[in-house]
A and B are shown apart, each in its own frame.
Chain A
Amino acid sequence: MSRITKRFEKLKADKRAGLVIYISAGDPDLASSYEILKGLPAAGADVIELGMPFTDPMADGPSVQAAGQRALKAGITVDATFDMVRRFRRETGDGDTPILLMGYYNLVYQRGAERFCKAAAAAGVDGFILVDLPPEEADELKPHATAHGLDTVLLTAPTTDDKRLPAVLKYASGFVYFVSVLGITGTKSATEDAVRSHVARLKRHTKLPIAVGFGIRTPEQAAAVARHADAAVVGSAIVDRVKAGLDPSGKPKPGLTAGVLADVTALAAGVRGTVKA
């Protein structure tokens, strides 16, 4: 059983939804980014999405774009991202918190899907969310991911209708990421009603856990999602908090990590205080 599956089994046993936290690897610099990553589980993140910064993040809004730019400027690379995960596993001894790499397919493709999967698995990565790799193109990654025990979390959207869903779910493992609004990250938010009905629809098609993301910024919003979904994903609000912790020259101000982790703690409290509907 993969770390991701185990984590969701545990959440189910605990009768609560999980909190998935997104950070961009290397934002605002490699050292600070690692400090944040290291603190996430204790702050209440159940699953971690580690963004792989890309020059052209077409599905991301201004917050995640800016985070990626900061990280690229700070010199983040794919190898450095793997190193962060390796160091996390070694130094924290945390062998339970799943870490997914999230990003765009070109970074995987340039290394070669097989080499990429092998290196990711060796570093302690648990799976991928590749925004621009729909099931139609997933054939070139899926066998290598499976061979190395990596989950492939696929996105579903409000536009993914019942007819199309089976084709998406065929390639999904770990959990299903429901993009709750039409749009890019960090902009609009879905209503609780919309989340409820979409999650119910997805549950009719799959036994995989459903995580809901896009537009979740506050503990209240996270709690509302946690009433219906198996996990709430928060990204843009976290990277915005990173940005708020920088001085005008882009250097981290004292207390950056503590501030980010305090926000995660508040979000976790929102999620954990919620009884699933």
Chain B
Amino acid sequence: MAISPNSFRTGPDERGHFGLFGGRYVAETLMPLILDLEKAYGEAKADPQFQGELNYLLAHYAGRPSPLYFAERLTKHLGGAKIYFKRDELNHTGSHKINNVLGQVLLAKRMGKTRVIAETGAGQHGVATATACALFDIPCVVFMGSVDVARQAPNVFRMKMLGAEVRPVTAGSSTLKDAMNEALRDWVATCETTFYCIGTVAGPHPYPAMVRDFQCVIGNEVRKQIMEMEGRLPDTLVACIGGGSNAMGLFHPFLDDKGVRIVGVEAGGKGVETGEHAASLTGGRPGVLHGNRTYLLQDKEGQITEAHSISAGLDYPGIGPEHSWLKEQGRVEYVSATDDEALAAFQLLCKLEGIIPALEPAHALAHVTKLAPKLPKDNLLVMNLCGRGDKDVFAVAERLGMQV
């Protein structure tokens, strides 16, 4: 293992690398566009007017700050750590995805782009992008695997109502990775007018850093809120990871607080040992896909293998490159939770707290139910409840053998 750096928050380097990971592995056609984007984002980041506009939208349109909520009944039930939820499921559009999308669509406008494309898995990023594009009157096309179109029908309908065109992708496994391939293929043909709004902390530089920056509002708010409520920083942070944007948003502001234990929960599908899962860090190895080097699910040759998860939002064979780096640095622990564990956690939260979580954070919660009982009662645990479960009711009903 490498020697720990003085700070875990300075990455990436000027070439977009987090140690071995990240980078810009894209076709030459896109390279000049990505360099432009990097420059435009750098300027926007330093522009108080851009930040002011974004902060206004986050507060008055998306409903930030989201509450930090003490889950008293769940805490009692588990009998250990004091559990708080960061309620990002209460944001407009129902997840943390809006934080990033408002930033990127503002940037698209600033760059003079006249069309926005996005990929989506569960549909949360697609809905958020369609929403921001409606607000700014920009045409929007969302690529979505045909398997996901079927299992996330409510979100497909939402995107259409918001004026977006949803293009089902039937290539490959017809899920999130294939949607991303198709979005990249569209972008290469339309890059002069089109902004590609990536939904997670992955893709070529500057996306992993840019999306992280936009999502850091989550962790920055938690710092402030927990100080007000408890007078000190949390002891434990837990978040689910597909590409890893909600987790990075919560984790990053705490990376240099050595006393804060940080845990990311990947989708274990039917169990990591079965091979049918989406746990890239647990069950994969470094490779190059979708513009960056990161942990990937792949065979011996380097062919990408299909991910499996009950949650369409976690069903991706890769992960953001900064997470790969944090794993190798040993700063963040990465574990996994299975479909069945997530389903049980989903039901538990409905009954105990009156909150229907999305299946994605249900994975984080599944790990909390294992971890919290082993921790002392004064351990402050914050879990990012990054999405609400309305979109998942049909999928869950089917799994539970119930009729909606």
Contacts and interface: CB of A to CB of B under 8 A. Distances in A.
A188 interface: yes
Contacts of A105: 25, 288
A187 B29 CA distance: 15
Given A56-B172, A134-B25, A160-B32, A183 B289 contact: no
Contacts of B287: 106, 109-110
A266 to B, nearest CB: 28
Interface in B282-322: 287-291, 293, 296, 298, 300-304
A55 B287 CA distance: 13
Contacts of B296: 106
A274 interface: no
Among A106, A161, A181, the one with the most B-chain Cβ atoms within 10 Å of its Cβ is: A106
B304 A61 contact: no
Contacts of B33: 159
B171 interface: yes
Interface in A249-275: none
A157 interface: yes
A127 B136 CA distance: 48
Contact of A182 (B26, B191, B290): B191
A159 B23 CA distance: 20
B350 interface: no
A162 B344 CA distance: 58
B169 to A, nearest CB: 11
Given A78-B301, A106-B302, A56 B189 contact: no
SS of B interface (majority):
mixed
A91 interface: no
Given A58-B185, A132-B288, A137-B24, A179 B29 contact: yes
Contacts of B13: none
Nearest to B300: A110
B302 A156 contact: no
A166 to B, nearest CB: 13
Interface string B164-207: 00000001100001100100110011111000000000000000
B60 interface: no
B303 A134 contact: no
B302 A109 contact: yes
Contact of A184 (B31, B188, B290, B302): B188
A196 B395 CA distance: 55
Interface string A51-89: 000111111110001000000100001100000000000
Contact of A58 (B23, B32, B184, B293): B184
Interface in B1-46: 15, 23-33, 35
B224 to A, nearest CB: 38
Contacts of A56: 172, 177-178, 181, 289-290, 304
A59 B27 contact: yes
SS of A interface (majority):
loop
A25 to B, nearest CB: 13
A132 B287 CA distance: 12
Nearest to B304: A55
A109 B190 contact: no
A30 interface: no
Contacts of B190: 182
B29 A157 contact: yes
Given A132-B26, A134-B25, A159 B302 contact: no
Among B32, B184, B185, the one with the most A-chain Cβ atoms within 10 Å of its Cβ is: B185
A158 B25 CA distance: 18
A108 B370 CA distance: 41
Contacts of B24: 134, 136-137
Contacts of A111: 302
Given A159-B191, A183-B185, 18 more contacts: A54-B303, A57-B181, A59-B27, A59-B188, A61-B185, A106-B289, A132-B27, A132-B291, A136-B15, A137-B24, A158-B29, A159-B29, A159-B31, A159-B32, A159-B33, A182-B188, A182-B189, A183-B188
6 residue pairs, one from A and one from B, having the closest CB atoms: A110-B302, A183-B189, A157-B29, A155-B28, A106-B302, A59-B27
Interface of A: 54-61, 65, 72, 77-78, 104-107, 109-111, 131-134, 136-137, 154-161, 164, 168, 179, 181-184, 187-188
7 contacts: A59-B185, A59-B188, A61-B185, A110-B302, A131-B27, A136-B31, A182-B190
